[in-house]
Structure 1
Amino acid sequence: MIGVLSELSYWQVTSIRVVAGLVAVLLVAGTLVYAHLFKMVSFMQSRLGPMEAGPYGSLQLMAEIGKFLQKEDIVPRRADRFVFKAAPFVVLTSTFLLLVVLPGGPDAWFISNDLGIYLAMAVSSVSVIGILMAGWGSASKYSLLGGLRATGQLIAYELPLLLAVVGVVIQAETMNLQEIVLAQANGEIFGSGVIGNPFIITQFVGFLIFMIAMQAELTQTPFDMPVAESELVTGYMTEYSGLRFLLFFIGEFATAGVFSAIAAVLFLGGWYVPGLDPADNLLNVLGPLVLFGKVVLLTFLVFWVRFTFPRFREDQLQRLAWKFLVPLALANIVVTGVLKVVV
């Protein structure tokens, strides 16, 4: 694959990667909305979900997109127009930048960076700026309160999210996401290399911390204080309509998919399939499908929790982060470091 791309000009390679990134983000977001939001939740609640638009409701998402595109794009009279309009694009840009560090196969990647996971964690913070822009620029008390809540929450849970990754970095001895996948593929667990060494086994505590912090970063229930409809209407998104609300909607589900892909790479072996040579070209085709399957599995857990647990109070939310997750993540780092040196 690298050989084919090397024969193309820079703008051709860039165009291919941009189109592939757009397709990946929109395909993941669309699949999660239909499979989880429309159907999985419906079955859990003993109902059928959308059934009218297309076979088995498969075109319901297209109908929703068409509805939002036809709505008027309203800007509040006292809003900061530039900040208000730019906010959803900032949030969505963060999602696209997260995507570029993800490997999908031996040669199927956008960039291979030695600081890949560090770059991903840094880029994920950009969405906080977009959310604060939406809250401030809307000139609405509900939006401002939602934006401030989101900022405080995301800052609190970025720390355990980052600390959960450190254990994986210590064990893999690299921050390159492609090399983290290879470390799991070529590793052994209990003297056997049949399934490699998926870090979810040795870093199970880190995996749990990462998934809890990811739920909070996505502002999904029970961490949905920034968009608490019973208190803030829809929080920082209250004044948005039409295309800009649609961008927030796409960003929410696309970010859930991308964060789940990062979790799959760090803890579930990413694109690797046990039994195959990690350098096999077949994995450039199978790898993205395997990674996508793991993303669907992890996002199932995210939405299962979303529709199962009640919302935390703000004090409970902050206490969980600072008094439980952060100390537990630090303890996991210490234990991992000691075992790495001793073993």
Structure 2
Amino acid sequence: MNPSIVAAGQVADFSQDTWWIWVIKAVFIVLYLILSVILALWVERRGLGFMQNRLGPNRVGPLGFGQAFSDALKLIIKEDFWLKGADKIIYFVSPVLAAACAFILMAVLPMGPEVSIFGINTPLQLADSPVALLFLLAVAALGEYGLVFGGWSSRSTLPLFGSVRSATQMISYELALGLSLVTVLLASGTMSTSGIVESQAGVWNIITLFPAFCVYVVCMFGETNRLPFDLPEAEGELVAGHTTEYSSMKFAWFYLSEYINMLNVSMIATTMFLGGWQAGPIMTGIYSLWGGDPNQGWIPMLWFFLKTWVFMFVMVWVRGTLLRMRYDHFMKLGWKVLIPVALGWVVCVAVIRAVTSFTDLSQRTLFIGIGVIFLIAIVLIWIFGDKESDTGEDPEESGFVRPEEEFDAMAGGFPVPPMPGQSLPPSPRASRLQTTQEGELV
């Protein structure tokens, strides 16, 4: 085993670290996240332009790379305003809270093994803890409060709708995301991020815990409010959701936190399911041909960042491919699909751990076998569930569709759209237009 990797269940060794080592690591994390956001904006705009057969930004800087810098300058010098009726303190603190939590998450994620920095041996990680996994979940949940408070403190209708959507989205999808990470805890036997990476030295969790990986990938789109789950800031119906009443740098903090959170969920996925900074058996075999070790020194940082950007590109790809979900479908997916699947897989993993504790069966073999059976069962339930719903039963008698009824769209004092099963009354304007047209024909 690589001696630079900590033993399972233990945290990384920071005994030789000094205060200036901590400062170097912290400054690197901040600079890396900010520069990565600039790169992500360029990749997203150019990537979407390529996918949609258009140019994208190509005037500011080489290949349009300077567009992100000009946008940042615009936000800095743009007029800032304060709402008269807003809760001033919460209105200001909300974007700061969202950005601060986004920057903090990377502190406990290992970027590489132990290296020498100016003669001091230190892990490529700012901090670690026996409960680092709980720290990740707690900070991620705290960051969502920035979105919720931002929309609520504006005291405006559309931002309030966005904040309510953000709150329900946070509850729904963090439950499933947390359950998917619980299986990683059960399989590795530790909540230390360094220990989780070490537990994947032979086989990555994406193979042994594939159902949990699928749930996490779906949930990470909901956590970052990205298409097809960008309901809190749906510009087609809420203008910009919780950020509608924000401008200048207060809006920029929200904007920055969204892209940093994209990086965060990508790095967490890399750490939990793709072996973290480890190169994997293929690259290890290639390097062994000339006596090298891809898991030593500074090279593992390259594997870590490459895996992270694979997830980043997938998120850009999904934005250019899928449409925004309807809100009731979005909630149904979270509560009726993701949470039951994640909970069922937690039970399976717990049973596997119990069985392997008193038998000679390989834990990884059981993980893969039961994972395949679990996925087949989900597919069968989905197929036969659809067949049962197409039995020809009258939808009104089954109670799924309400009978058509007219309703007053202005009953509450402001216009509202019809609910399923309701219909708008005939438009008097349309009837007048038809009478006029018939008169002209006569």
TM over 0.5: yes
Q: Which one of the candidate residues 195, 215, 226 is aligned to 2:221?
A: 215
- Residue 279 of structure 2 contacts residue 295 of structure 2 at CA under 8 Å; is this kept in 1? no
Report the equivalent of 1:31.
39
* SS at structure 2 position matched to 1:159: helix
Instruction: Give the structure with higher Rg (CA).
Output: 2
Aligned pairs, how many?
328
| In 2, Cα distance between equivalents of 1:43 and 1:161 | 32
| Contact 2:132/2:193, CA 8 A, preserved across alignment | yes
Q: CA separation in 1, counterparts of 2:203 and 2:110?
A: 18
Q: Does 1:61 align with 2:71?
A: no
Letter of the aligned partner of 1:226 in structure 2? P
Which ranges of structure 2 fall in alignment gaps of 5 or more residues?
5-11, 114-122, 356-360, 362-442
User: Residue by residue, what CA displacement relative to the aligned partner does 1:249-280 show, whole Å, maximum 9, x if unpaired?
Assistant: 11111110011100011100111113279xx7
In structure 2, the partner of 1:335 is 348
User: What displacement does 1:3 show?
Assistant: 10
Q: 1:112 offset after TM fit, Å?
A: 1.5
Please provide the CA RMSD for this pair.
Answer: 2.0
- Find the partner of 2:162 among 146, 161, 164: 146
Shift of 1:246: 1.2
CA shift, 1:27, in A, is 2.3
Equivalent-residue separation in structure 1 for 2:24 and 2:148 (angstroms):
33
The SS at the match of 2:195 is helix
* Aligned equivalents of 1:96, 1:281: Cα separation in 2: 28
Contact 1:271 1:283 in 2 (8 A): no
SS in 2 for 1:100: helix
Do the aligned residues in 1 keep the contact of 2:235 with 2:241 (CA within 8 Å)? Answer: yes
Q: Greater relative contact order: 1 or 2 (C-alpha under 8 angstroms, separation 6 or more)?
A: 1
Secondary structure of the residue aligned to 2:299 is helix
For 2:42 and 2:332, how far apart are their aligned partners in 1? Answer: 34
1:70 Cα deviation from its structure 2 partner: 1.2
Deviation, 1:213, is 0.7
Q: Does structure 1 residue 6 correspond to structure 2 residue 16?
A: yes
Does 2:94 match 1:81? no
CA contact (8 A) 1:181 1:270 kept: yes
Superposition pairs for residues 1-343 of structure 1, below 5 Å? 6=16, 8=18, 10=19, 12-35=20-43, 37-106=44-113, 107-185=123-201, 196-274=202-280, 275=284, 283-342=296-355, 343=361
Percent sequence identity is: 33
- Contact 2:112/2:304, CA 8 A, preserved across alignment: no
Which 5+ residue runs of structure 1 have no aligned equivalent? 186-195
> Structure 1 residues 300-309 or 92-101, which shifts more?
300-309
Q: Structure 1's 154 and 281: CA in aligned 2 closer, same or farther, altered over 3 A?
A: same
Instruction: Sort the Cα spacing of 1:69 and 1:284 in 2 relative to 1 into closer, same or farther, 3 A.
Output: farther
Question: How far off its partner does 1:163 sit?
Answer: 0.3
Paired amino acid for 1:6:
Q
Higher helix share: 1
CA contact (8 A) 1:272 1:283 kept: no
Q: Is the 8 A contact 2:173 2:334 kept in 1?
A: yes
CA distance in 2, matches of 1:319, 1:254: 28
TM-score by length of 1: 0.91
**CA separation of 1:55/1:154 partners in 2, compared to 1, >3 Å: closer, same or farther?**
same
Cα distance in 1 between the residues matched to 2:323 and 2:329: 12
Q: CA deviation at 1:24?
A: 2.2
In structure 2, what is the Cα distance between the partners aligned to 1:121 and 1:81? Answer: 29
Letter in 2 for 1:249: Y
Which one-letter code corresponds to 1:301 in the other structure?
V
- Structure 1 counterpart of 2:64, which letter? G
Give CA-to-partner distance per residue, 1:271-330, whole Å, 9 cap, x none.
Answer: 1113279xx796441222211111110121122222211212221111111111111001
Q: CA deviation at 1:233?
A: 0.3
In structure 2, how many angstroms separate the alpha carbons of the residues matched to 1:162 and 1:234?
Answer: 28
TM-score by length of 2: 0.71
Does the C-alpha gap of structure 1 residues 324 and 290 become closer, same or farther in structure 2, counting only changes over 3 Å?
same
Partners of 1:5 and 1:13 within 8 A in 2: no
Paired with 1:113 and 1:320, the residues of 2 have a C-alpha distance of: 33
1:193 is matched with: none
Mapped to 1, the partners of 2:106 and 2:208 lie a distance apart of: 26
